[in-house]
């Protein structure tokens, strides 16, 4: 079984667990203030770790719900996993969450799968093979102008008075999961996404490859590509779009002054 086929099979199995818990109920608690986790997150993490590492015992492991093991830094290939990206949406019963899995090789994703079981959307990609949604090739939108663009991001970000110049008129939408958000941009359903809060490897690794194979870009607000499986797994933020709108966003976001990056 190829790496991509392995990810797809594991993601579908994980998605079934998420749907079972959503139907039957689950316990929720906070890992830290404002950082919820559920029984489903932990059960899916356990399942994925078992399935993936049994199939590829020489790969490393990095997951939001597993204590970090620095041994991953010595592995050429690493599974980067978010069992449920968009846990807040999952808790609320909103269909804006996903299972996100990538194989990272030499700091960049080589295979990726994002599965939203609530909507039955499965995004998959591998380097040089294009990106697909439920088996059909996808591409980013070809929109070349920002005014009127369909953008995913917190509404308050775009309307905040601290911007040196106002944003153009936008069709603003919100999603809890950054992985799912970037995948939606990759499929052309939305034109761009902007989030200026910190993100971790597991939030963006799979989506990064999917949008790249769909012809777009996911970077930080400065236009820097992400490197994964590094000692520090935290990133400043994440924006995504097709090439023209991505360039526009990077230019606009020069006005943004972020806090210092932390581990």
Q: What would the pLDDT profile of 69-84 be if each residue is shown by its tens digit?
A: 999 999 999 999 999 9
* Mean of pLDDT values over 122-131: 98
- The answer to whether residue 75 sits within a structural domain is yes
Find all residues with CB under 8 Å of 185, minimum gap 6, and list them.
140, 141, 152, 191, 192, 193, 211, 216, 240, 241
Sign of the torsion angle spanned by Cα atoms 78, 238, 186, 249: negative
Residues 120 and 158 occupy one common structural domain: no
> With bands split at pLDDT 50, 70 and 90, how would you rate the model's confidence at 260?
low
Same-domain pairing of 124 and 156: no
Residues 120 and 165 in one domain: no
Q: What is the pLDDT of residue 61?
A: 98
Same domain membership, residue 184 and residue 123: no
| 93 and 183 part of one domain | no
Domain count for the chain: 2
Q: With the C-alpha atoms ordered 153, 158, 162, 163, is the resulting torsion angle positive or negative?
A: positive
* One domain, residues 40 and 90: yes
* Domain closes at, from 137, 163, 189: 137
Phi, psi (rounded to 5 degrees) for 173: -130, 160
- 87: domain range? 3-137
| 127, 196: one domain | no
Are residue 81 and residue 170 in the same domain, yes or no? Answer: no
pLDDT-based confidence at residue 257 (cuts at 50, 70, 90)? confident
Interacting residues of 79 by C-beta distance below 8 A, sequence separation 6+: 48, 52, 53, 56, 59, 60, 61, 62, 63, 101, 102, 103, 104
CATH of the domain at 192: 3.40.190.80
Same domain, 81 and 168: no
- Tell me: do 53 and 120 sit in the same domain: yes
Q: Residue 31: its pLDDT value, please? A: 87
pLDDT, mean of residues 211-228: 98
**Is 21 in the same domain as 127?**
yes
Question: Scanning the structure block, which residue is given the tokens 């019963």?
Answer: 93
115 CB contacts (<8 Å, ≥6 apart)? 8, 11, 12, 14, 15, 98, 99, 121, 122, 123
The answer to whether 116 and 86 have CB atoms below 8 angstroms apart is no
**Quick check: 187 and 193 in contact, CB under 8 A?**
no
Indicate the pTM of the whole model: 0.96
Residue 262 domain flag: no
């Amino acid at each position: 079984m190829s790496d991509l086929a392995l990810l797809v099979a594991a993601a579908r199995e994980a998605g079934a667990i998420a749907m079972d818990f959503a139907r039957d109920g689950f316990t929720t608690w906070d890992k830290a203030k404002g950082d919820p986790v559920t029984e489903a997150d932990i059960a899916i993490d356990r399942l994925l770790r078992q399935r993936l590492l049994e199939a590829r015992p020489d790969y490393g492991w990095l997951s939001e719900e597993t204590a970090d093991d620095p041994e991953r830094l010595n592995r050429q290939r690493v599974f980067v996993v978010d069992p449920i990206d968009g846990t807040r949406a999952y808790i609320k019963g909103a269909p804006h969450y996903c299972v996100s899995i990538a194989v990272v090789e030499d700091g960049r994703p080589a295979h990726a799968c994002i599965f939203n079981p609530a909507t039955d959307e499965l995004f998959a990609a591998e380097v040089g093979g294009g990106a697909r949604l439920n088996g059909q090739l996808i591409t980013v939108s070809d929109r070349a102008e920002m005014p009127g663009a369909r953008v995913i991001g917190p509404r308050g970000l775009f309307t905040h008075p601290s911007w040196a110049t106002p944003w153009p008129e936008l069709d603003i939408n919100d999603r809890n999961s950054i992985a799912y958000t970037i995948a939606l941009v990759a499929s052309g359903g939305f034109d761009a996404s902007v989030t200026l809060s910190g993100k971790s490897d597991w939030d963006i690794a799979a989506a990064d490859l999917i949008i790249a194979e769909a012809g777009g870009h996911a970077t930080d607000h400065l236009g820097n590509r992400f490197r994964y499986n590094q000692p520090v797994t935290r990133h400043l933020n994440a924006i995504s779009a097709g090439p023209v709108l991505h360039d526009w966003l990077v230019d606009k976001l020069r006005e943004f002054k972020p806090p210092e990056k932390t581990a």
